[in-house]
A and B are shown apart, each in its own frame.
Chain A
């Protein structure tokens, strides 16, 4: 994630936008594949987003590495598509704790101050959903630990 952020941070705003477009093209590849198993599936349509977004999470029991897939409805905006591709790539392999604790202040460095100002909900939406999934997964893990004890 840090590499992606550093790359964007060095770009002027117009090149940031071009890079966001390129990432948005890759969002479809983040969708879950047929038969792929997940620990958690959270598909819903929130007021903050113009279409349905599904967040799918699998965590490797041995390495605790997270693996996210995200499905996007056809009316989801371009910026949300871009953030989907960036975050799926950037957070792949992180532990749920790392996902949950990642500070949100990197977002303006990715998309530029102007887009944050005019689309404050949109730019944070996917990260918020991924953090939400990580939190639920950790909660379940703690419950299982209590039951096992």
Chain B
């Protein structure tokens, strides 16, 4: 096993490029690419990988929610995924959307999930094979999940408000400028319709990037413990809510806390700042202090 992985709370939740390259044809795995760049998959993907679009495949945009259990079962069936399949996610932007897709799979109770450490950028930088072949999985049978596990790993506005009022841990993973309220979107990204800048009162600023190395891989367990346990004072059993702008960067942090550090009660507030910043009567704080 990769020596770095062995120090994580769940060493099995990550794979590296070397491992994946020799397991490309394993029948028990399905490789899934999820990206910010809407056309990136078609320019060259890991051989055999399918593409899952966070917006088109995972979300129900008529309700700003996720697809129904029936919709999820249908997605898995046409992707050749069964409940036993190990789904290995990867993508651009240091795996933001891959972590988001993995989190969404967990919402539906799919247990066998992994991330490719470093995502597509590292795979490409290592000169590993790419393909433009259109992958057509053999359809599978995926039973409709009995329920969606929103209550376990997802936070809504009311949950986040209660968390703020109770002064329980809230982590704002956006850039410092967004946290302070100086900007309403991350640098280099279009403004996506948020009326107010700032953060949820009581939230601590820990940008997602602090958990990642420059090559997109996750920092070591020791470094992560220093950030979240020592500096932030979080305990493994704390009830924690992470948020960003639309829930993708906070999925990355949710993954770090849940799988790499073994925190047991972490939820992702996917409504995030695009909901909170626009919500009538939602309190906000500005500046460097949590408020």
Query: Could you give, for residues 104-133 of chain A, a 1 whenever the CB lies within 8 Å of some chain B CB and a 0 otherwise?
Result: 000000000001001111000000000000
- How many residues in B have their beta carbons less than 8 Å from beta carbons of A? 12
Chain A nearest CB from B275 CB (Å) reads 18
Task: Assess the B189–A17 pair: CB atoms within 8 A.
Answer: no
Task: Assess the B42–A18 pair: CB atoms within 8 A.
Answer: yes
Q: Could you say which residues of chain A place their CB within 8 Å of the CB of B187?
A: 47
The reply on B9 being an interface residue by CB < 8 A is no
Chain A nearest CB from B98 CB (Å) reads 17
Instruction: Report which residue of B38, B55, B187, B188 has the largest number of chain A beta carbons within 10 angstroms of its beta carbon.
Output: B38
Also in contact, A78 and B188, with CB within 8 A (given A21-B43, A118-B55): no
Q: Which of A42-79 contact B (CB under 8 A)?
A: 45-50, 77-79
Chain B nearest CB from A126 CB (Å) reads 15
Also in contact, A50 and B190, with CB within 8 A (given A21-B42, A78-B39, A78-B40): no
Q: Could you say which residues of chain A place their CB within 8 Å of the CB of B189?
A: 47
Task: Assess the A119–B188 pair: CB atoms within 8 A.
Answer: no
How many angstroms from the CA of A96 to the CA of B198 in the assembled complex?
43
Task: Assess the B38–A24 pair: CB atoms within 8 A.
Answer: no
Task: Assess the A79–B188 pair: CB atoms within 8 A.
Answer: no
Q: Could you say which residues of chain B place their CB within 8 Å of the CB of A120?
A: 190
The reply on A20 being an interface residue by CB < 8 A is yes
How many angstroms from the CA of A49 to the CA of B189 in the assembled complex?
7
Task: Assess the A77–B40 pair: CB atoms within 8 A.
Answer: yes
Task: Assess the B43–A24 pair: CB atoms within 8 A.
Answer: yes
Chain A nearest CB from B289 CB (Å) reads 26
Q: Main SS of the interface on chain B?
A: loop
The reply on B37 being an interface residue by CB < 8 A is yes
Q: Could you say which residues of chain A place their CB within 8 Å of the CB of B38?
A: 77-79, 115, 118-119
Which of B36, B39, B55, B188 is close to A21, meaning CB atoms less than 8 Å apart? B39
Which of B36, B39, B188 is close to A17, meaning CB atoms less than 8 Å apart? B39
How many angstroms from the CA of A119 to the CA of B39 in the assembled complex?
11
Also in contact, A48 and B190, with CB within 8 A (given A77-B37, A78-B37, A118-B55): yes
Chain B nearest CB from A1 CB (Å) reads 21
The reply on A82 being an interface residue by CB < 8 A is yes
Q: Which of B38-64 contact A (CB under 8 A)?
A: 38-40, 42-43, 55
Q: Which of A90-107 contact B (CB under 8 A)?
A: none
Chain B nearest CB from A9 CB (Å) reads 19
Task: Assess the A50–B188 pair: CB atoms within 8 A.
Answer: yes
How many angstroms from the CA of A82 to the CA of B43 in the assembled complex?
11
Q: Which of B7-40 contact A (CB under 8 A)?
A: 36-40
Chain B nearest CB from A102 CB (Å) reads 22
Q: Could you say which residues of chain A place their CB within 8 Å of the CB of B43?
A: 21, 24-25, 78
Q: Could you say which residues of chain A place their CB within 8 Å of the CB of B39?
A: 17, 20-21, 24, 77-79, 82
Which 7 interchain pairs have the tightest Cβ spacing? A78-B39, A121-B190, A77-B37, A21-B42, A78-B37, A50-B188, A78-B40
- Residue positions of B touching A, CB distance < 8 A: 36-40, 42-43, 55, 187-190
Given A78-B37, A78-B43, 7 additional A-B pairs, CB 8 A: A18-B42, A21-B43, A24-B39, A45-B188, A46-B188, A47-B188, A120-B190
9 A–B pairs (Cβ distance < 8 Å), ordered by A: A20-B39, A45-B188, A46-B188, A47-B187, A47-B190, A49-B188, A77-B40, A79-B38, A79-B39
